[in-house]
Chain A
Amino acid sequence: MEYEPVIGLEVHAQLRTQTKIFCGCSTAFGSPPNTHTCPVCLGMPGVLPVLNRKVVEYAVKMALATHCTINHVSEWARKNYFYPDLPKGYQISQYDRPIAERGYLDLEIDGAGKRVGITRIHMEEDAGKLIHDESAPVSYVDLNRAGVPLIEIVSEPDMRNPEEGAAYLRRLHEILVYLEICDGNMEEGNFRCDANVSLRPRGEQTFGTRTELKNMNSFRNVQRALEYEIRRQQYVLESGGTVVQETRLWDDARGATSPMRGKEEAHDYRYFPDPDLLPVIVPGEWIDEIRKTLPELPLEKRERFIREYDLPAYDAGVLTASRAIADYFEAVATRCSKPKAASNWVMGDILGHIKEDKLEMEDCPVSADDLGELVRLIDDGTISGKMAKDVFEDMWLSGKKPETIIGEKGLAQITDTGALETVVDEVLAANPAQVEQFRGGKEKVFGFFVGQVMKKTKGQANPGLVNEILKRKLSDL
């Protein structure tokens, strides 16, 4: 029988606030354990949480970017369970009335469009971090992360293969980073994903029993884990078994999933409204204000680059991979008025060097203005494309302006017709034998003359001009 996978994804994104969701402790990553804690995030008795305004603002931003309906009134709920990384014995989250619901995300997979529904977005606090002792039956608890703000974005079970799952995650990640509400660093746990996957006979409408996959910390691993789990479930079903509803952990080293043991046996979180927190009220005017701050999103930017700069879709995709790259490209293109040339320089030379030197786009030593000027100097014939590559290397290392480097090295092309004519005359006079050969019909000798002119001018003669002058002089002879 042919089976169809059904995939839904839950993403936890850490919001890029300075402070925690309900207290003023810093959210900075990598500090010594338990240095960012206070009575509120330690769960001391008698303390009261006070909501960070930025958290609501960022959640609304994401909701708008994913076409969700924003609930003007949403509520906080307590999710109760015991685990040492959760000091209060409950997590403050949202349950029946989340901040936003019913949105969607448009994907493009191999040129085809695909819309994935978003069920809901809710706000919640993160738990602390546990470090397990290798040699003793002890775990260490660091509560720096306890209370760090998250949004959870839950998709509809709309994806039908692992590629769609990975494409959805990439798009979601891209939007979060574009909105500057999440750092999106998967290694630091800013962007975490759980997957629900089930199989059903193709054509069947009802869903099969699903498993939940956890512990995948890269896009690639999400895709691999989904591929593995689909094969596993297919094997179970084909050998007459039934899929057990359970949580399974992805093991990167083994390349397999296995059932998670321990933790709370049955999920019984006993959600109830948090009496310490009033409902979150988001008036329409606030939403309008936030809407005004939304940047152009990657997909819109991509389409505009194709339309406005006449770029191939591939270029537009590479150039809009991050806001920093896109802004840089636009500045270069504006300076030189040659969008395709600007695109080639940014995609090739700039991104290549950035990668090689392990830099961030923001740290690029060549300013967009200077690169734009370099492209313009090629376009107006001041330097050749070949010279420009050398000038660029120099710009990258020294941060100097292209015109400075050209001046210092005396690199400018000779575009003075009079000066070049003199050189051509000299070359022809010095090589009468070759001139005879040329007149005798041996046109290959033309290349020899060009070479001689270039040699005399140390490669600085404008090649087009040399050709033109040589042709004219030779036919006049």
Chain B
Amino acid sequence: MKITEDQVAHVAHLARLNIDEKEREVFTKQLDDILLYIDMLNSVDTTDVAPMTHAMEGTETFREDVVRSSLPVDAALANAPDDDGASFKVPKVIE
């Protein structure tokens, strides 16, 4: 086994996903299969290969430091479940 049910529960919590016991079992099995599959890469000798973090090569494209217009406030807030016309309203996050 590459992953335990406890680890799956932990990751689910970090991602704020509510999963029941049945789902935890299913996902553990599925994630385990995926991790075992990825494990095949370990059979390749990568001693002299630099770690790759991106599929693309080449340099970052830069943006010049020039102000562009922002969204009108009502557009910025349009998708919010709740707002007061100026700010997003959320359940209080501090005790």
B4 near A: Cβ within 8 Å?
no
A253 near B: Cβ within 8 Å?
no
B88 in complex: contacting residue of A82, A83, A143, CB < 8 Å:
A143
Taking CB atoms, residues of chain A closer than 8 Å to B1 are none
> How many A-B contacts are there with CB distance less than 8 Å?
122
Assess the B87–A52 pair: CB atoms within 8 A: no
User: Do A261 and B92 contact each other (CB < 8 Å), given the known contacts A51-B60, A53-B65, A275-B54?
Assistant: no
Assess the A19–B84 pair: CB atoms within 8 A: no
How far is it, in angstroms, between the C-alpha of A138 and the C-alpha of B63 when the chains are bound?
37
Closest residue of B by beta carbon distance from A31? B70
A250-275 vs B, CB cutoff 8 Å, 1 = contact: the mask equals: 00000000000110000010100101
B90 in complex: contacting residue of A18, A138, A280, CB < 8 Å:
A138
B65 in complex: contacting residue of A35, A54, A142, CB < 8 Å:
A54
Taking CB atoms, residues of chain B closer than 8 Å to A32 are 73, 86
Q: Which of B53, B58, B77 has the most CB of A within 10 A?
A: B53
User: Do A19 and B65 contact each other (CB < 8 Å), given the known contacts A34-B73, A132-B94?
Assistant: yes
Assess the B62–A25 pair: CB atoms within 8 A: no
Assess the A17–B65 pair: CB atoms within 8 A: yes
B76-95 vs A, CB cutoff 8 Å, 1 = contact: the mask equals: 11000000101111111111
Interface residues on B, range: 20 to 34
Closest residue of B by beta carbon distance from A50? B63
Assess the A19–B68 pair: CB atoms within 8 A: yes
Closest residue of A by beta carbon distance from B50? A73
B48 near A: Cβ within 8 Å?
no
Taking CB atoms, residues of chain B closer than 8 Å to A136 are 92
Assess the B94–A262 pair: CB atoms within 8 A: yes
B18 near A: Cβ within 8 Å?
no
Within 30-59 of B, Cβ neighbours of A (below 8 Å) are at 53-54, 56, 58-59
Taking CB atoms, residues of chain B closer than 8 Å to A24 are 63, 66-68
Which stretch (A36-44, A321-329, A399-407, A450-458) binds chain B?
A: A36-44
B22 near A: Cβ within 8 Å?
no
A25 in complex: contacting residue of B10, B59, B68, CB < 8 Å:
B68
Assess the B92–A132 pair: CB atoms within 8 A: yes
Q: Which of A23, A35, A262, A278 has the most CB of B within 10 A?
A: A278
Assess the B63–A53 pair: CB atoms within 8 A: yes
How far is it, in angstroms, between the C-alpha of A438 and the C-alpha of B64 when the chains are bound?
83
Assess the B70–A36 pair: CB atoms within 8 A: yes
B94 in complex: contacting residue of A50, A51, A139, CB < 8 Å:
A139
Dominant SS among interface residues on chain A: loop
User: Do A18 and B65 contact each other (CB < 8 Å), given the known contacts A270-B14, A278-B58?
Assistant: yes
Taking CB atoms, residues of chain A closer than 8 Å to B90 are 84, 138-141
Assess the B54–A278 pair: CB atoms within 8 A: yes
Query: Min CB distance, B15 to chain A, in Å?
Result: 8
How far is it, in angstroms, between the C-alpha of A34 and the C-alpha of B92 when the chains are bound?
19
How far is it, in angstroms, between the C-alpha of A143 and the C-alpha of B88 when the chains are bound?
9
Assess the B67–A139 pair: CB atoms within 8 A: no
A190 near B: Cβ within 8 Å?
no
Known: A19-B67, A84-B93. 15 other contacts (CB 8 A): A17-B65, A33-B86, A38-B68, A50-B62, A50-B63, A51-B61, A56-B62, A130-B93, A133-B92, A140-B84, A140-B89, A141-B89, A262-B93, A278-B61, A281-B60
Residue pairs across A and B with Cβ atoms less than 8 A apart, 19 shown, are A18-B65, A24-B67, A33-B73, A34-B76, A35-B70, A37-B70, A42-B76, A50-B62, A132-B93, A138-B91, A139-B92, A140-B87, A140-B88, A141-B90, A143-B76, A143-B88, A270-B14, A273-B53, A278-B54
